């Protein structure tokens, strides 16, 4: 048995898009294996290497490191068509995955009818009931997983008898259910889907294996694992701003089940958050700025969705929500992103408490209706005008930016170890203080 290695995870502390892709890519230089354990193609993780930008949805972001093995765990909702497209796009750009990708035979498959159902349920919902999903079929796929009767896992997809006999029945039943639910005939051709399933099986089959055993062996051999969280803690199915959440466990608590490793595997939890807050889709957002300042942050930070291109809602840093999600995941260190985006603001705000029905609290309410009534209590800090893009260490930052970081760290209660001042790998300060 090899020497005990320390394993880490990168998780988003907000409502997604915190910059997890950049941090995973950065840290992967020190890891042997990167593992996705939740979500699916709703994720959009950006990695910038020199003048090249990659947006990864199902492929773990660490795959861009040649020596790193990448695993898609059992907890991922896997859309085969989307994954194959991603692999092909990378190959066209000269990036081969070279047998380094392994897919869990237990992962559930996102089928075309899941995407149709996701899209129609959103468009049919009354405006106040919409979640604002990414329409990637995530909710319907996880619902089938829990309901079980019609669920399809990667191991099923690889089984020719299943594809020929059971799959046509499932697709026909789902077509009928959609017709009854929404009254229109969904565009679902049973024979074409069976054909596609065969192609998916041929393309992805060689990568499918028991990743639980693979990870156990890797750990026993002293290899270091980095778990890549998708979405963000505030979108967690149990602990997020329900029902305006995604359908998986997005916190570090999702790792043991979603990856198939023992609960105490991860000792280092890197929580990623921006120097401000963003959200895409519906749901409460206490610190949202619906004025010119919010627009200014969006334009400076290029806050448009990586997966859907939707403009992201922007607001000041929410210390109440971030402290909540940091504690939920047992965060040991913070990667603070987009500090450069705030250059040029006269003042920058931090929400230190919520005022709800006349009472002040610094605890996150567990009920979304209560959260919707919360008013932010802002503490304003003087801004800085200097560009931070070329900063290499804390000393290169203006005093006001340093004071801002100190205050964020104090409020969240977790040390900031990385500060990001631009999208590229090199635009990162490592703090040892």
Stretch that binds Mg ion, among 17-25, 65-73, 80-88, 348-356 (CB under 5 A): 17-25
Contact status: 17 vs ligand GDP (CB under 6 A): yes
Residue 132 contacts residue 280 (beta carbons within 8 Å): yes
**Residue with Cβ nearer ligand GDP (60 or 423):** 423
Contact status: 228 vs Mg ion (CB under 5 A): no
Q: Which two tokens stand for residue 144?
A: 């089938």
Active site includes 238?
no
Closest Cα to residue 77, out of 104, 99, 55, 56? 104
DSSP 53: E
> Which distant-in-sequence residues (6+ apart) come within 8 Å of 369 by Cβ?
none
Catalytic residue (one of 17, 25, 79, 340): 17
Q: Which of residues 40-69 bind ligand IMO (CB under 6 A)?
A: 42-45
Contact status: 341 vs ligand GDP (CB under 6 A): yes
Cα 246 to chain centroid distance, Å, stands at: 10
Q: Which of residues 124-163 bind ligand IMO (CB under 6 A)?
A: 131-134, 136, 138-139
Contact status: 19 vs Mg ion (CB under 5 A): no
Report the run of H or E that residue 219 belongs to, with start and end. helix 211-220
Catalytic residue (one of 25, 32, 45, 79): 45
Q: Which of residues 35-54 bind ligand GDP (CB under 6 A)?
A: 44-46, 48
Residue 82 contacts residue 42 (beta carbons within 8 Å): no
Closest Cα to residue 138, out of 76, 187, 86? 76
Selected from 154, 340, 408, 416, the binder of ligand GDP by CB under 6 A is 340
Distance of closest approach, residue 289 Cβ to ligand GDP, in angstroms: 18
Selected from 28, 141, 204, 337, the binder of ligand GDP by CB under 6 A is 337
> Which distant-in-sequence residues (6+ apart) come within 8 Å of 38 by Cβ?
75, 76, 229, 230, 231, 248, 249, 250, 254, 258
**Residue with Cβ nearer ligand GDP (178 or 275):** 275
CA atoms within 13 A on the CB side of 242: 11
Active site includes 149?
no
Distance of closest approach, residue 391 Cβ to ligand IMO, in angstroms: 25
Q: Which of residues 227-256 bind ligand IMO (CB under 6 A)?
A: 230-232, 235, 246-247
Cα 70 to chain centroid distance, Å, stands at: 16
**Residue with Cβ nearer ligand IMO (42 or 332):** 42
Distance of closest approach, residue 162 Cβ to ligand IMO, in angstroms: 27
Beta strand spans in 294-361 (E): 313-315, 317-318, 333-337, 347-356, 359-361
Selected from 15, 350, 420, 429, the binder of ligand GDP by CB under 6 A is 420
Distance of closest approach, residue 245 Cβ to ligand GDP, in angstroms: 16
Stretch that binds Mg ion, among 11-19, 49-57, 324-332, 387-395 (CB under 5 A): 11-19
- In three-state secondary structure terms, 275 is coil
Count residues binding ligand IMO (CB under 6 A): 24
Residue 347 contacts residue 315 (beta carbons within 8 Å): no
Q: Which of residues 283-342 bind ligand IMO (CB under 6 A)?
A: 306
DSSP for 110-164, written as a single string? PPHHHHHHHHHHHHHS-GGG-----SSSHHHHHHHHHH-TT--BHHHHT-HHIII
Beta bridge partners of 424: 48
**Residue with Cβ nearer ligand GDP (168 or 383):** 383
Q: Provide the binding-site residues for ligand GDP, judged by CB under 6 A.
A: 12, 16-22, 44-46, 48, 301-302, 306, 337-338, 340-341, 420-423
Q: Which residues are catalytic?
A: 17, 45
Residues that bind ligand IMO (CB under 6 A): 12, 15-17, 42-45, 131-134, 136, 138-139, 230-232, 235, 246-247, 280-281, 306
Contact set with Mg ion (CB under 5 A): 17, 44, 306
């Amino acid at each position: 048995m090899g020497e005990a290695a320390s394993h880490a995870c990168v998780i988003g502390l907000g409502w997604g898009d915190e910059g997890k892709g950049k941090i995973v890519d950065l840290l992967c230089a020190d890891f042997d294996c990167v593992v996705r354990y939740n979500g699916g193609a709703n994720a959009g993780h950006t990695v910038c290497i020199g003048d090249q930008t990659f947006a990864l949805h199902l492929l773990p972001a660490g795959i861009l490191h040649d020596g790193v093995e990448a695993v898609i765990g059992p907890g991922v909702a896997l859309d085969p068509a989307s994954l194959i497209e991603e692999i092909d796009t990378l190959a066209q750009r000269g990036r081969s995955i070279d047998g380094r990708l392994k897919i869990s035979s237990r992962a559930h498959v996102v089928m075309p009818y899941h995407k149709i159902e996701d899209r129609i349920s959103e468009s049919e919902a009354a405006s106040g009931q919409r979640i604002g999903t990414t329409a990637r079929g995530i909710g319907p796929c996880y619902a089938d997983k829990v309901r079980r009767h019609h669920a399809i896992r990667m191991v099923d997809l690889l089984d020719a008898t299943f594809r020929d006999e059971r799959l046509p029945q499932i697709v026909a039943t789902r077509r009928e259910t959609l017709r009854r639910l929404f009254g229109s005939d969904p565009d679902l051709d049973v024979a074409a889907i069976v054909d596609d399933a065969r192609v998916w099986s041929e393309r992805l089959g060689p990568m499918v294996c028991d990743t639980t055993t693979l990870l156990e062996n890797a750990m026993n051999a002293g290899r270091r694992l980095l778990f890549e969280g998708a979405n963000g803690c505030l979108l967690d199915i149990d602990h997020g701003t329900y029902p305006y959440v995604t359908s998986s466990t997005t916190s570090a608590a999702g790792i043991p089940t979603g990856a198939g490793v023992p609960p105490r595997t991860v000792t280092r939890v890197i929580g990623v958050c921006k120097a401000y807050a963003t959200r895409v889709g519906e749901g409460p957002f206490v610190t949202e700025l619906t004025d010119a300042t919010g627009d200014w942050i969006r334009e400076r930070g290029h806050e448009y969705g990586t997966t859907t291109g939707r403009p992201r809602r922007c607001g000041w840093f929410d210390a109440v929500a971030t402290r909540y999600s940091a504690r939920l995941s047992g965060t040991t260190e913070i990667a603070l992103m987009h500090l450069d985006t705030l250059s040029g603001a006269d003042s920058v705000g931090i929400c230190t408490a919520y005022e709800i029905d006349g009472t002040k609290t610094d605890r996150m309410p567990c009920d979304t209706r209560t959260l919707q009534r919360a008013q932010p209590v802002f503490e304003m800090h003087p801004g800085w005008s200097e560009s931070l893009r070329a900063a290499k260490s804390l000393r290169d930052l203006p005093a006001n930016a340093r004071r801002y970081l100190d205050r964020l760290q104090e409020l969240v209660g977790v040390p900031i170890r990385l500060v990001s001042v631009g999208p590229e790998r090199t635009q990162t300060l490592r703090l040892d203080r």
